[in-house]
Chain A
Amino acid sequence: MLEMELFSDVIKLISDIRHSKLHNSYDIAIHTEELVERLISEGKWKSAQDLMSLIKLRIARFISALPQEATPVNIMRHILKIIRDEYDTGFKSKGEGHQSLHHLVTANINDSEDYSKLLPTLKSSLLNNLAEYKVELESSMDNIATQALEHIHANEIILTVGKSNTVEKFLKYAAKSRKFQVIVVEAAPRFHGHLMASNLAKSNIQTTIIPDSAVFAMMSRVNKVIIGTHTVLANGGLRTECGVHMVALAAKRYSIPIMVLAHMYKLSPMHLCSSEQDAFNICASPADVLPYSSGPLLNKVHVYNPAFDYVPPELVTLFISHQGGNAPSYVYRLLSELYHPDDQEL
């Protein structure tokens, strides 16, 4: 009972995500940030150590409930880093920012900080920092969209898969000043592509909707593939909507660049845990693939409806975040900037 009260906030978040009340990653990110903000301002903690353990408990709780959902964990992980930084600057003990290699090698093990000292200004400075972080989250989508003109030229044919709010905004921004065509892959059986196509067409972008099977046929005339992603893995690979892997392969075949629009909170320090996808993927209801009306046939067949695809980093050309473009090989560096090394494995 006590536990329920302690974790009521994160339990609510989990259930909201499970019941698809929050389904786009931006909403999830904002909700998570607000959750932590409330925790800081109202929670029972004294030292930075207390606060960090509170957050870590929530992360653990969340991972055990929804291992596939990386965004909230990444947000909380980044906030841990903010707490550490604030603590450090509060005491001015550990020099500035990152330690040099020399310092790391010569450092005394006992020297490592346990964040247990009390720092009276910590709460207010954290809340300030979080407010700043929230603004960053909120403007991330627009920041990515404004880069559109650097990537889309006139009369291009752009292919995208399914629906991503970020991609939609990106394309719409470019459409204000340039004429181009978009081919939307419908991404059956979820058919997010249909909504995407209708939204794009409403803002007067010439849109073609194709079934998933026609990707290879169309690919040779496509100039760029622009997609969103669910998570960016530590090696620069992607966990994306199902079907993107074959799109990426087709693009690779024709040497067509694939751009991935990714907010910073999608960068996750996790690696692909096995080449067998079982640990990585989840399967949705097979009813969308083979309807229940198929009757007795259903007893005799296995029907799969996986939700994700793994796209290896060599198929990705570019990541575009609110800070600009980065190659997949640079993701590890971004990760070390986003998260403290001690928090990468939780």
Chain B
Amino acid sequence: MADPSTTVDASLVEDAATAVPQPISELESLRLLVQQQAAALDTFVKNQQSVNRGKKVGADGLTKKERRALKAGAEKNVEISNAKTNTIDESLNQPKNNVAVNSKSSKGKLQNDSSTPIKSQVKNHTESPPKADTQKSQKTLDAKIKENEKETLSKAEIKAQRRAVQEAQRQAKANQKLVVTPNNNNQATKENIKQNEQNIKLGKKVSPKIDLIKSPIKHRVQLFNHLYVGDFQEQNLKRYTLNKDIHPAFLQLGAQYLSRSILGSNARCLAMLSALKTLTNDFRTPPKQEFCRSLESTLKASITHLNTCRPLAVSMTNALRQFKLLLTQIDTNLSDNEKRSLLQERIDKYIQEEIEKAGEAISNEVNKKISDNDIILIYGYSSLILRILVDAQKAGKKFRVVIVDARPLLEGREMLRRLVCANIECSYLLINAVSFVMSRVTKVLLGAHALLANGYVMSRTGTAQVALVANSFKKPVLVCCETYKFCERVQTDSFVYNEIADPDKVVTVDASEKSSYLLNWRDNNYLTPLNLMYDVTPSDFVTAVVTEIAVLPCTSVPVILRIRPVE
């Protein structure tokens, strides 16, 4: 067992070392993830086996205490960030002194410093053979390391360190506000970086939060500061890929979400449910624990990992809520195998009822509204809309489809391909030409990411715009959405909850031989490409929402939410 884990960890350490000075691109990290998956699968299975044999080594190779320590560390950081900065004046002086002492700190040093804790950790893992009796020794070793850390820092030093961290964070916030004038604060950020280097040197511990500050906050749109994940994501990804608690199916899923190779809320939900099934199947109850409880805690780690890769879709959150509810309701007297099969059965049922049957019902409903010679405008890709149109074609209706597409995702091309394969007559254009065709269109069909409790529709960016133009041309807009995507949340703008995708996608021009003037946008601090994933369509643009239950006005979402059995 030791072999696969050592190779994985070694490669990770290498990667961590290279990643610190120059953040690796998403693709690279992805490749890394995929590489690890094979190894991770082995370790996971072996860990599970070892669990079955009744040995007490944690599934991830980390001892419980270690994990607890990690958690505590994270909590501590949160505390630090939440604490108010009462003593700004003092803290202003202290880091400066530190800078004076170690003013020659180089980037290379920083790199070493930040990677050493990981290395030492890894050493601990690799040195400890997977026997139950060595667990104790490892525990003591970890404890010793912790003690050492504590000893080297006196209380005053810790205080000073905290203040420095606070100050750094405060300044980082100030920088975020001052993005408009980077010239003035370029120096400030440099100082900031120095300070952070200082902190890291002093503290020896590298927490991801401090690293977040270390990266200069350029190329961010102020309005969306709360949405950028960047370094934090990278750090967390590394932490979680080290964590053998996460089932490889979820690691793979995470990688797919991260690369956005699985897109669309239905597809994402289906993929997650099938991963969930795999997990339920592979999961072995640790000794002296109850199946559902321990599954829930394992699941929690996996879901956190998924959330780090990409924020969960509403459809996924809803499905997960149902699954967790089921875990608490399941009869504890059943055997593990019975529970397992029951859970899998219920997942299948959920897929069948909430997605398949609902899609069928919606398709039937919309098909009643499609008549011959209709010109139907659709936007981007939606599995549900595709199904509706193909069904209508099979029913022998004669209609045309106008596919409106938008960069940078260009999902509409996939839609076009599939509709053409189904022998549906199609036109294709980009979103800026939507006014050009709208006068000739008879209906607009839109998919949705989620329906919010105030009747607004959350969907792929651009949906609101298509609805807006349709509205101005007085064309009916039908939003098709299964009720499992309904959401208690209310939202009136596209700023509070949204996702920011890879900004490089905005500046790459695919269709023609032209190349963009923005390819080296990182060189100019004033330039920020913004790639939003979602927007929110006001309810007054939407004529009706077609659900499997009924055709409703948008404003009836709360009614459905009350009807649906949730908890």
Partner-binding segment picked from A113-121, A188-196, A264-272? A188-196
Q: Does A104 contact B (CB under 8 A)?
A: no
Query: Given A276-B439, A287-B512, A216 and B465 touching (CB < 8 A)?
Result: yes
Contacts of B420 in A (CB 8 A): 297, 300-301
CA distance A275 to B427 in the complex (A): 21
| Interface status of B494 (Cβ within 8 A of chain A) | yes
In-complex Cβ contact of A212 among B430, B512, B531 (8 A): B430
Is A291's CB under 8 angstroms from B511's CB?
Answer: yes
Is B435's CB within 8 Å of the partner chain A? yes
Give residues of chain A (165-189) contacting chain B, Cβ–Cβ below 8 Å.
179, 181, 186-189
Assembly CA distance A281 to B437 (angstroms): 12
Closest chain A residue to B433, Cβ basis? A306
Chain B's interface size range is 35 or more
From A194, A218, A294, contact of B517 by CB (8 A)? A194
Q: How far is the CB of B401 from chain A (nearest CB, A)?
A: 10
**A residues near B417, Cβ cutoff 8 Å:** 297
Q: Which of B427, B435, B532 contacts A217 (CB 8 A)?
A: B532
Known contacts: A208-B221, A209-B530, A216-B535. The answer to whether A186 contacts B506 by CB under 8 A is: yes
CA distance A26 to B134 in the complex (A): 81
Q: How large is the interface on A (under 10, 10 to 19, 20 to 34, 35 or more residues)?
A: 35 or more
B228 lies within 8 A of chain A by Cβ? no
Q: When the two chains form their complex, are residues A305 and B429 in contact, meaning their CB atoms are under 8 A apart?
A: yes
Asked if residues A290 and B428 are in contact (CB atoms below 8 Å), the reply is yes
Q: Is A142 an interface residue (CB 8 A)?
A: no
Q: Contacts of B433 on A, CB cut-off 8 Å?
A: 242-243, 304-306
Chain B residue nearest to A285 in the complex (CB): B512
> Is A202 in the interface zone, CB < 8 Å from B?
yes
Q: How far is the CA of A131 from the CA of B490 in the complex (A)?
A: 63
Residues on B with C-beta less than 8 A from A238 are none
**Are A303 and B427 closer than 8 Å at their CB atoms?**
yes
- CA A65 – CA B468 in complex, angstroms? 36
List, in ascending order, chain A residues with CB within 8 A of B468's CB.
216, 246, 249-250, 253
- CB-CB under 8 A for A289 and B432, given A198-B524, A220-B493: no
Asked if A204 and B512 sit within 8 Å, CB to CB, the answer is no
- Name the residue of chain B whose CB is nearest to the CB of A245: B435
Interface residues of B in 510-524 (CB under 8 A from A): 510-512, 514, 516-518, 521, 524
Find B527's partner among A209, A249, A287 (CB 8 Å cutoff): A209
Q: How far is the CA of A215 from the CA of B434 in the complex (A)?
A: 13
Quick one: which of A210-244 are within 8 Å of B by CB?
Answer: 210-218, 220-221, 242-243
Choose from A181, A206, A220, A301 the contact partner of B428 (Cβ within 8 Å): A301
A sample of 4 more A-B contacts (CB under 8 A), given A179-B180, A188-B430, is: A198-B517, A212-B407, A243-B431, A250-B465
| Chain B residues near A (Cβ < 8 Å) | 179-181, 183, 221-223, 406-408, 413, 416-417, 420, 426-437, 439, 460-462, 464-465, 468-469, 472, 493-495, 498, 506-507, 509-512, 514, 516-518, 521, 524, 526-532, 534-536
Q: Which residues of A contact B (CB under 8 A)?
A: 155, 179, 181, 186-189, 191, 194-195, 197-198, 200-202, 204-218, 220-221, 242-243, 245-246, 249-250, 253, 275-277, 281, 287-291, 294, 297, 300-306, 309-310
Q: What are 19 A-to-B residue pairs whose CB atoms are below 8 Å?
A: A181-B222, A188-B407, A188-B432, A191-B514, A197-B517, A198-B517, A201-B527, A205-B526, A211-B407, A213-B406, A213-B461, A213-B465, A216-B535, A218-B494, A221-B495, A246-B435, A301-B416, A303-B427, A305-B433
Q: Which 10 A-B pairs have the closest CB atoms?
A: A243-B432, A213-B462, A213-B406, A217-B494, A217-B535, A201-B527, A245-B435, A201-B526, A302-B427, A216-B464
